[in-house]
């Protein structure tokens, strides 16, 4: 399998993430993603689970990146969602979107994944 580096942007900074992931990274990321799928997107727990995934992914190439680093960043929900999707693609859990409709594919399953966290609605 060919190794590649993708860039994840958070807080206006770019972080390298190597793909494929190490077994150690996958041991954390895959169970955390399974947990993420079962919790409410509005719950603070969804942010904690996404943070766990991001920290494990980013720390491999940026060892000083810690949960406290992420907690101190000024980010938007969209930016966090994009970073999450980028990490999940790098991990091989999400595939690249289909060109015709932009659907995010999880593994072999068909359908749309739900990468957003928190309430991102602009409705009043």
Q: What is the pLDDT of residues 2-22, one digit of tens each?
A: 899 999 999 999 999 999 999
Query: Smallest Cα–Cα separation from 3: which of 18, 17, 23, 24?
Result: 18
Tokens of 66: 């810690």
User: Domain locations in the chain?
Assistant: 4-106
Q: Which residue has the higher pLDDT, 97 or 82?
A: 82
Q: How confident is the model at residue 102 (pLDDT cuts 50, 70, 90)?
A: low
Q: How confident is the model at residue 95 (pLDDT cuts 50, 70, 90)?
A: confident
How does pLDDT run across 32-78, given as a tens digit for each residue? 999 999 988 778 889 999 999 999 999 999 999 999 999 999 999 99
């Amino acid at each position: 399998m060919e190794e590649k580096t993708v860039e994840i942007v958070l807080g206006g900074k770019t972080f390298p993430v190597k793909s494929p992931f190490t077994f150690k990274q996958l041991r954390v990321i895959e169970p955390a993603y399974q947990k993420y799928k079962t919790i409410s997107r509005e719950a603070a727990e969804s942010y904690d689970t996404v943070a766990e995934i991001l920290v494990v992914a980013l720390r491999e190439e940026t060892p000083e990146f810690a949960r406290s680093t992420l907690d101190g960043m000024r980010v938007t929900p969209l930016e966090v969602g994009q970073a999450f999707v980028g990490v999940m693609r790098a991990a091989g859990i999400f595939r690249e979107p289909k060109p015709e409709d932009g659907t995010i594919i999880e593994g072999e399953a068909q359908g749309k994944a739900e990468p957003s966290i928190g309430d991102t609605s602009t409705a009043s």
